[in-house]
Structure 1
Amino acid sequence: MIRTEPLVFLALWLLRSASPGSCQDQPEQVHLSYLGDPTSMMVTWTTFRPAESLVAYGRDPGEAFTRVARGNATRFVDGGKLQRTMFIHRVTLRDLVPGQRYAYRCGSEQGWSRPHVFRALLSGSNWSPRFAIFGDMGLLNPQSLPRLKQETDMGLYDVVLHVGDFAYDFDTDNARVGDAFMRKIEPVAASVPYMTCPGNHEEKYNFSNYRFRFSMPGDTESLWYSWNIGPAHIISFSTEVYFYLHYGRQLVAEQFRWLEKDLQEASQPERRRERPWIITMGHRPMYCSNNDRDDCTRHESIVRCGLDPHQYGLEDLFYKYGVDLELWAHEHSYERLWPLYDYMVFNGSTEAPYTNPGAPVHIITGSAGCQERLDPFVPEPRHWSAVRIEDYGYTRMKIFNWTHLWLEQVSDDQDGKVVDGIWLIKEKHGSEVQH
């Protein structure tokens, strides 16, 4: 059980008396996650020796570090030859005031992290959350990261969505590359909730580095989860269960059943009225026009159509429940599709294709930066492809209200220029408005 108490004197004593400790005692790789409750926030970090799991925090300015929350740590052994051991600490901060700014430090008397600051998310559905969205960011060549850090410091984002592929790879060099990546992204991930889904580069040792390092809503070791923010219900899932069947075909069936149940609940009329936007995030896209042999370049994509004989396909499922927006990565480029179902375009109109469209909108944003560089496109765009950009960059999204959502693509190659942007406008949501 985790307790949160206003232990002013204990907090100050811990912070002032903490010895520098060794590198193994020092908290690192600090990151936040949002569990769906605006009065709470999860703090996760790593040490390399056992230690208490404490977070000293308070309102900023004026009450920094006046409260202490306690949590627990999970021992994680990497699957590499050295069997390196680390301790993943998790503490939930509770009784936060929505919209309030907080300062915090995490650790124990053996060592404390540097101070970080975050703002608790707002409550209810009547507000406009802002997101940075990207996939495929490695330790080497993370070209978009400096700009993302700067914009996070400027307060441009409420949440970051990382749509798979981290570090390249978490397990490389007995997980030292994973450690270095999490240190590198800490300035972003420790300041706003860092929400993730697994990609193909997380597969090693049954996705163990991914499952242990992150603390997403629900089961902390799950590959899928959902959560609410403002007027949106966001679903994160694993496309990788379709491609690594040596871990068990039953995982595909289990995730599919979970997705259908979650979509059924989110689509209930009273829930859809409160949070009309349903947005999915998964790593490998159903469609793409890149010049490679990835799943999305095939007519019968596994993610789209499912396993033989056409079981557990996601396109029909998402279409059935009126998913509005599908976010993908994996391809190291940016591609915006027309509203699309089964290779057929269902634009709202010729003049306003994204106003009341008849099918989900797909965005592929996998060019944040990694050592594999960018992916080229086929020379002629497909009839369902609206915009293709082969630059390093990332996507911004703002959900203004129940009917209007703004998406734009930022090119890091072009010094932060916005190179694409659309209004997605839906006066009605749900399966009844799909063609």
Structure 2
Amino acid sequence: MRFAFLTWLLPVVLALPQYNDGYQTVDSSTQPVQIRLSYQGPTAMMVSWNTFAQLHRPTVYYGLEPFFLYQVATSSDSSTYPTSLTYNNHVNLTHLWPDTTYYYLPAGSNSTVPYSFRTAKVAGDPTPFSVAVVVDMGTFGPLGLSTTTGVGAANPLQPGAHTTIQDISQQLHTFDFVLHPGDISYADAWLKEEIQQYLPNTSRVDNPTVYEHINNAFYDELVNITAYKPYMVSPGNHEANCDNGGTTDKTTGIKYTESICPVGQTNFTGYRNRFRMPSQPSGGLENFWYSYDYGMTHFISIDTETDLGHGLLGPDEGSPEFSGPFGLMNQQLTWLQNDLASVNRTRTPWVIVLGHRPFYNSAGGICTNCSAVFEPLFYQYDVDLYFCGHSHVYVRTAPVYLNQTDPNGLNNPRFTWYVVNGAAGHYDGLDTLQYPLMPYTQFAQDTDYSWSRFTFHNCTHMTLEAIASNNGSVYDEATLFKNRTCNDDSWKFPPW
């Protein structure tokens, strides 16, 4: 019996990752960098990372104990795109236990200890939880937002102030995962930074490299969050990756067109390669629209940039940022209606939608096409909250429908609650509120970089906190109450 056990154990031990003992030689071209996670349901987790060389079989070792990673998962998903400096690798870990801590390492890592993650709560689990939300966040430091700015930019970081990434990293214990609905890294702002004399001017040949350096710097900065907490994204206009088209250098009078943008910086190319959101299990499309359950909440990610439906095109039609469509006519709209209609509000009473552009705002930039398409469905299916960015300010509204404020406010409203917080940090600084503020506005600020946190206490109460990045303080807080009864215990016996 003992011999049989050792015969079984030996190949398992040989398959385990070899931790760096200080003498091991690591191949830097296949060493994992920019590790990131995304939910694929309560029993699956996508592990993604980048390497400087293509992997034949991306591999992840994982298990329930930190130094016994006895399970192995592989894939063939290792790809790149024109002008990219790295390869994107993705491995889906399946048949996991819900709400359970796992330890893992991608093959080739030189880490002396594994990373960890916790799987999602099953739908209906009434345990309180919190999520972090960040929008419009770019690279910090020499390639992005710092204590200095170029010509025309404003609101630099104050000396010694925390960046949003630093503050979220220090508060990992206060939330379960991160939502980032659009404008991720701002690598496409390289030309604007050169024109504003923040970055040195480069040749056309070197332009793609500048973009990729900014992009990689962002995900390197983010890894202390994304290697431990699932990072759920939605597309923003800057994921189209061509903000430079249409930019004018006022000094020289040169107006650049989209011809300056190489193929790797158009049509959401980097965004489509870097992430693997749970579109397949939810019937959605790539990283553009999808949904998933977490405990008592149903989360939905929508695409406000393309595929709006009803014949309405994305808000950037005619500009270099417009891309797609990626689906058939009305595909996203039909999917959203079916998804909302299928929600079991007894098991997941909260329905939260994330998108990039605002429907209601006090700093301009309202996406009227988005509102025309999505707002009637929000009303029909009683969506509790729509959270977005795009405007680099913080605006908390009252619940609204068709520009009318719900008379109940946050006390059991019939209308959807709208929140804008695009103040996470971009090289150009913050936007400016427009006074007088719109009548539905309850609180707004345009002076501090910030992120948000939502806490779902139970089936009736959910609290929003707006958090100043420089010191982690809560500068705005509000609680939404919905008068409903939740008594479904079937979540205790889920079909996994």
Q: TM-score, normalised by structure 1?
A: 0.84
**Distance in 2 between the 1:100 and 1:89 partners?**
24
Identity of aligned residues (%): 32
Aligned residues: 393
Please show how residues 33-432 of structure 1 align to structure 2 within 5 Å: 33-36=38-41, 38-51=42-55, 52-61=57-66, 63-78=67-82, 83-84=83-84, 86-108=86-108, 111-112=109-110, 115-126=114-125, 127-139=127-139, 140-141=144-145, 143-152=163-172, 155-169=173-187, 173-204=210-241, 205-219=266-280, 221-241=286-306, 242-245=314-317, 247-248=323-324, 251=327, 253-266=330-343, 271-290=344-363, 292=364, 294-296=365-367, 301-305=368-372, 313-348=373-408, 353-390=409-446, 391-413=448-470, 415-428=471-484
**Distance in 1 between the 2:377 and 2:391 partners?**
23
**Distance in 1 between the 2:422 and 2:386 partners?**
13
Q: Would you say the 8 A contact 1:264–1:321 is kept in 2?
A: yes
**Distance in 2 between the 1:47 and 1:19 partners?**
19
Higher deviation after alignment, 334-343 or 178-187: 178-187
Return closer, same or farther for 1:99/1:23 CA change in 2, 3 Å cut-off: same
Helix, strand or coil at the partner of 1:288: coil
Q: Would you say the 8 A contact 1:161–1:195 is kept in 2?
A: yes
Unaligned runs of 5+ in 2: 1-7, 147-162, 191-209, 242-265, 307-313, 486-496
How far did residue 315 of structure 1 move?
1.1
Helix, strand or coil at the partner of 1:357: coil
Return closer, same or farther for 1:65/1:171 CA change in 2, 3 Å cut-off: farther
Return closer, same or farther for 1:146/1:16 CA change in 2, 3 Å cut-off: closer
Bigger strand fraction: 1
Root mean square deviation of aligned Cα: 2.5
How far did residue 73 of structure 1 move?
2.1
How far did residue 412 of structure 1 move?
2.1
Question: Paired residue for 2:245?
Answer: none
Greater Rg over alpha carbons, structure: 2
Q: Can you list the C-alpha shifts for 1:20-52, whole angstroms capped at 9, x where unaligned?
A: 44432211110000012x222110111121223
Asked if 1:11 corresponds to 2:15, the answer is: yes
**Distance in 1 between the 2:382 and 2:123 partners?**
22
**Distance in 2 between the 1:231 and 1:325 partners?**
14
**Distance in 1 between the 2:34 and 2:418 partners?**
32
Q: TM-score, normalised by structure 2?
A: 0.74
**Distance in 2 between the 1:150 and 1:238 partners?**
30
Q: Can you list the C-alpha shifts for 1:280-338, whole angstroms capped at 9, x where unaligned?
A: 00001111111x5x235xxxx22112xxxxxxx21112111111110111111111000
- Give the partner amino acid of 2:116: V
Helix, strand or coil at the partner of 1:131: strand
Q: Would you say the 8 A contact 2:17–2:61 is kept in 1?
A: no
Q: Would you say the 8 A contact 1:356–1:428 is kept in 2?
A: no
